[in-house]
Amino acid sequence: MRTISLVTQKGGAGKSTLASSLAVAALEAGERVCLIDMDAQATLTLWGKTRGEADVPVIAASAGKLNAVLAALEAKGVTLAIIDTPGADGPAASAAMAAAQLNVIPARPTAFDLWASANTRKALKDMRGDYVFVLNQCPPAQQSARVDEGIAALEAMGGLLSPLVLARVDYQEAARRGWGVTEYNPGGAAADEMRALWASLKKRLKAKAPRAANKAA
Ligand SMILES: Nc1ncnc2c1ncn2[C@@H]1O[C@H](COP(=O)(O)OP(=O)(O)O)[C@@H](O)[C@H]1O
Ligand SMILES: [Mg+2]
């Protein structure tokens, strides 16, 4: 089982949005996916209730229970666990970072998000966690200096996952139905983006040992 955590101290960066749409894209690509909701706001738990299907289970977990939850999922044959975290430092974010083979740090192309990313990256470096950035909610005119600056900052900090994720209403329309963007509008640009993002993540994860092997090492 591979475990990914979406982390950043900044609220609104897109952790829950990307977690839900990536989960669905991965499901469609053949993974057995489970979402783990560590945020007291319970965004993904509500998303799962709205969805009303068992194909992408959402489990709420506290920091103290996380490892037991992950072990149980692995025993059940889940191949991908995606952990959504609160937008603040604390035990939940720390536990999620420690449990993940790869941490995904979403950031909007704004100074405040980029500064928050640097803090999150420092926390991950201190615990020797692996991480990659995703630039989210980019304006449609991609050549803007603000986006270029974001790309340069995140690349300099240690890697930006492709593609860039643009601000698109599909993400909001899918979320309120309990869907991923690939279900809401399979032929749309947001769906293409999420399928490509999952493909990049999968490639990035391939080099990593599965969780059980990590533990034994
Ligand atoms: N790529 C995107 N395009 C449009 N809206 C987005 C996108 N990503 C996130 N949003 C919106 O931004 C807001 C914050 O996103 P959310 O996923 O809740 O962030 P977080 O979980 O990091 O706090 C939500 O209203 C969500 O619908
Ligand atoms: Mg959230």
pLDDT in tens, 6-60: 999 999 999 999 999 999 999 999 999 999 999 999 999 999 999 999 999 999 9
Is ligand 1 within 6 A of the CB of residue 9?
no
Q: Report the nearest atom of ligand 1 relative to the CA of 137.
A: 1
Q: In which domain, by residue range, is 121 found?
A: 2-201
- Residue 208 domain flag: no
Compute the distance from residue 48 Cα to the ligand 2 centre, in Å: 13
- Which range has the worst mean pLDDT, 22-36, 117-131, 143-157, 183-197? 143-157
- Residue 210 domain flag: no
Total count of residues recorded for the chain: 217
Number of domains, the chain: 1
- Residue 88 domain flag: yes
- Which range has the worst mean pLDDT, 2-11, 112-121, 200-209? 200-209
- Residue 216 domain flag: no
Compute the distance from residue 88 Cα to the ligand 1 centre, in Å: 16
Alpha-carbon gap, residue 146 to 175, rounded angstroms: 27
- Residue 190 domain flag: yes
When pLDDT is cut at 50, 70 and 90, the band that residue 210 belongs to is low
Calculate mean pLDDT across residues 59-80.
98
Is ligand 1 within 6 A of the CB of residue 172?
yes
What 3-state class would DSSP assign to 59? strand
Is ligand 1 within 6 A of the CB of residue 85?
no
Is ligand 1 within 6 A of the CB of residue 15?
yes
Q: Report the nearest atom of ligand 1 relative to the CA of 167.
A: 3
Compute the distance from residue 90 Cα to the ligand 2 centre, in Å: 15
Average pLDDT, the chain: 93
More confident residue, 208 or 129: 129
Tell me which residue has its CA closest to atom 9 in ligand 1: 14
Indicate which CATH number applies to the domain containing 146: 3.40.50.300
- Residue 68 domain flag: yes
Q: Which of 17, 83, 113, 142 has most ligand 1 atoms within 8 Å of its beta carbon, as the pocket-test mutant?
A: 17
Alpha-carbon gap, residue 134 to 95, rounded angstroms: 21
The CA angle 184-107-143, to the nearest 5 degrees, is 85
Strands of the chain, DSSP E:
2-6, 33-37, 58-60, 80-84, 102-107, 131-135
> Which residues 6+ apart lie within 8 Å of 125 measured at CB?
none
- Residue 62 domain flag: yes
- Residue 125 domain flag: yes
What pLDDT shows up at residue 144?
84
What pLDDT shows up at residue 89?
87
